[in-house]
Amino acid sequence: MSKARNVAINRKKLGRFLDSLKTRTSEELQERKRIGEEYIGIENEFKTIRDTATTIIYPKGPSRFHRETHIETKPKHRSLPPTDEMEEPKYIPASKYALPMAPMPFKVARDSKNASRVLNLSRLRPKKPSSEVNVNEAGPSFPNINIEKLDTTVY
């Protein structure tokens, strides 16, 4: 019996809530309609005042009369002159670019959990020389040319 009574009470509460929701939405709808009608009335009043002011200022009528719309009040898109569009890009020589595969010096990892392991691995790696150049410190050697033995005959 108490369940049926609770259901009846809840049904009444739900009915009252739905009724209040209907009245609230209808009031909101009426308010929106009223605001829309006021806006239309103000806009019509503005147009009539503008038209009468135009006829007073220009008694013969303006040479060109355009009614302003929301499209005409937007700023017009301006394109660049053709001289700016045809400008060539600035040339950057290849020597100014950074080398993509430049050798990076090996840095020991710090403040990490396996820093000691990485350090030991780097010690195990064989160190390869990047390039070997043999330089003779005695100076450049030139071939011995004996001028007397040169053949100067013309064929």
Which pTM does this prediction carry? 0.29
**From CA 114, how far away is CA 122, in angstroms rounded?**
12
Which residues, other chains included, contact 50 with Cβ-Cβ below 8 Å and sequence gap of 6+?
Answer: none
* Greater pLDDT, 77 or 95: 95
Which residues are within 8 A (CB) of 139 and not within 5 positions of it... i.e. 6 or more apart? none
Selected residue with higher pLDDT from 125 and 66? 125
pLDDT at 48: 93
- pLDDT of amino acid 81: 56
Across residues 66-90, what is the average pLDDT? 58
What is the SS3 assignment for 47? Answer: helix
Residue-wise pLDDT tens digits, 25-35: 999 999 999 99
pLDDT at 31: 92
